[in-house]
Amino acid sequence: MSEALTKNYIDGIWQEASAGATFKDVNPAVNSDVIGNFPESGVEDVDDAVRAARKAFRTWGSMPAPARGDYLRRIGDLLTERKSELAFQMTREMGKPFFETKGDVQEAIDTAYYAATETRRLFGHTVPSEMPNKFNMSIRRPIGVCGVITAWNFPVAVPTWKMFPALAAGNTVVFKPSEDAPHSGALLVKIFEDAGLPSGVVNLVQGSANAGRALVEHPDVNAVSFTGSTVTGSKIGESCGRLHKRFSLEMGGKNPMIVLADADLDLVIEGLLWGAFGTTGQRCTATSRLIVHEDVHDELVNTLKERASALKIGYGNEDDTEMGPVINQKAIDKIESYIAIGKEEGATLALGGNRAEGPGLEDGFFLEPTIFTNVTPNMRIAKEEIFGPVLSVIKISSYEEAVKVANNIEFGLSSAIYTQDIATAFRAMHEIEAGITYVNGPTIGAEAHMPFGGVKGTGNGHREGGWEVFEFYTETKTVYVDYSGKLQKAQIDNVED
C-alpha cells in the first residue's frame, strides 16, 4: 500500500502542522489497518492557510469565470481517471461499500462539470430604471475566503458540493475534512494540485474541533459552509452570527418514508433496503422512519425483515459486501444506546439490535440491520437522529395521520411517499415539511444539479447543489448607470406631495 498523504496542503506546499500533535485514522472494517497519523492543526496552521487563500483570491477572484471553469473541468477529468483508486481508499477509510464510494466520486465528477458549465451562466439581472436614461443591473461578485468543514460519510461528494461552486464563483477555500476521513480529503486535494489549480486557491488543514473553531473564528474568513452534527452546526452558527459571516449549515435528519395502502410494495422494499441500510444508515438523508398504513404493515415488515437480515455485511472493498461498518466506536456506543432507549420506551425490536458477528467481522465496527416496530410518534427513536442502520416503524391509518407523524420532528431534510394516487402525491409534495420529497423513491439519491438542503432544524435556509448554491457563494452588487448627463435623484426624492 502506498504511503498515505498525511500532511496539510497550504499555499501549494504539503507540510506538517506547526505543533507536532497527530491523530490516528483507522479502517472501520479492519481496525488493525492504520491508514495514517494526521496533523492535529491549530490556530497557526489555519492562519497560514487563510493568508494563502486571501493572497490567491486576488488573482483567482478576478479571473474570467469561464477560465476558472476550465480548471474545474480538468479536475473532473482527473477524478474520472482516478475514480476506482480513490473509491478504494475512501472505502478503506470510512467503510461504505466500493460501489457506494464510486458513486460518491461520480457525484463529485458530475458536480465538477456542472459547476464548470455554470461559470458561463453566473447570471445577474437587468431591470428597468425609474428614471429615463438610466440603466440598472445586478452582478455577482465572489465573497472572498470560504471555510469548508465537512462530514466523513460523503468524503468526496460533500466537500466538492461546497468547493466547486465556491471556486466557480471566484472564491478561494480553506478545507477542513472530518477527522474520520482525512485521507480521502487529502487525495481529493492532491487531484486539485495535479490538475494545476494555482497555489493557495484550495488549502487543506487537517484536524479536529480546534482547527474547525480556528477556521470559523478567523477574521479573514468571509463565509463558512458546514455539513455535520446539529450540535456543532449550532455553535458554528452562533460564532458566524456574532462575527457577521455568511454561513450555510447542513445538519441532521430523521427522514420519513410514508407508505400508503395502495403502494407498490416490491418497490417499497427495494427503496427501504437502500434508504435505511445503504451507507449503513449513515446519511443525513437516510430513511430512518417508516410510516406505514396498517393494511400493509405486517406484510411489509415481514418481507423487510427477511430481506434486511440477508444483507451481506463486511468490508466494503470485498466484492459481495452490501453493508459496511459504522464509522467508529463512538458511533457504536451512540447507536447501541438508542437501541436500549427503544427497548425501554416499549418499542418491539423486530430485527437485529446487536453487533454483527462472523468471519471477517471480528476487527471492525459492525452492527446488524435493526428494525423497531410498534414505535409511537413521540418516542425518542422516532424523533432523534441515530445515524446508523436502525429503522423505526410507525403504523398509521390515513394519509392525514401519516403527514402529521412525518412532520412531528425538529428536522426537515428528506422525505418520501409511496402511493399510486397522483392527487395524494401532489398533496404530499406541499404538506411534508422537508427540503426534499421523493415520490415512489427512497429518501436518498440527490442529483448534483438540483438544490439540496433542509428546513426546520436541518439547515439555515441555504441550499447546496444546483443553481441555488451560487446564491450562497456570491455577493450581489447592484449597479446604476446614469447616462442622462444630469443629476437625477431617485424617484422618492422627485415625487411631489
Nearest Cα residue to 121 out of 171, 60, 68: 68
CB nearer to ligand UN1: pick between 116 and 446: 446
Do residues 228 and 151 make contact, with C-beta atoms less than 8 angstroms apart? yes
Among the residue ranges 23-31, 165-173, 280-288, 366-374, the one whose residues contact ligand UN1 (CB under 6 A): 280-288
The catalytic position among 40, 179, 217, 250 is 250
**Within 10 Å of residue 430's Cβ, how many Cβ atoms?**
8
To ligand UN1, the closest distance from the beta carbon of 447 in angstroms equals 8
Contact call for residue 283 and ligand UN1 (CB under 6 A)? yes
End-to-end CA separation in angstroms for the chain: 81
Among the residue ranges 64-72, 79-87, 108-116, 283-291, the one whose residues contact ligand UN1 (CB under 6 A): 283-291
Among the residue ranges 139-147, 150-158, 316-324, 356-364, the one whose residues contact ligand UN1 (CB under 6 A): 150-158
Contact call for residue 446 and ligand UN1 (CB under 6 A)? yes
Known catalytic membership, residue 284: yes
Size of the site for ligand UN1 (CB under 6 A): 11
Q: Which of 71, 154, 247, 315 binds ligand UN1 (CB under 6 A)?
A: 154
CB nearer to ligand UN1: pick between 18 and 234: 234
Among the residue ranges 90-98, 153-161, 326-334, 380-388, the one whose residues contact ligand UN1 (CB under 6 A): 153-161
Q: CA quadruple 227, 233, 238, 239: dihedral positive or negative?
A: negative
To ligand UN1, the closest distance from the beta carbon of 221 in angstroms equals 22
Contact call for residue 445 and ligand UN1 (CB under 6 A)? yes
Q: Which of 171, 203, 206, 227 binds ligand UN1 (CB under 6 A)?
A: 227
Contact call for residue 158 and ligand UN1 (CB under 6 A)? yes
CB nearer to ligand UN1: pick between 195 and 446: 446
Contact call for residue 285 and ligand UN1 (CB under 6 A)? yes
To ligand UN1, the closest distance from the beta carbon of 157 in angstroms equals 6
To ligand UN1, the closest distance from the beta carbon of 425 in angstroms equals 20
Among the residue ranges 111-119, 168-176, 277-285, 418-426, the one whose residues contact ligand UN1 (CB under 6 A): 277-285
The catalytic position among 93, 118, 146, 284 is 284
To ligand UN1, the closest distance from the beta carbon of 457 in angstroms equals 15
To ligand UN1, the closest distance from the beta carbon of 275 in angstroms equals 9
Catalog residues that contact ligand UN1 under the rule CB under 6 A.
Answer: 107, 153-154, 158, 227, 283-285, 444-446
State the catalytic residues: 250, 284
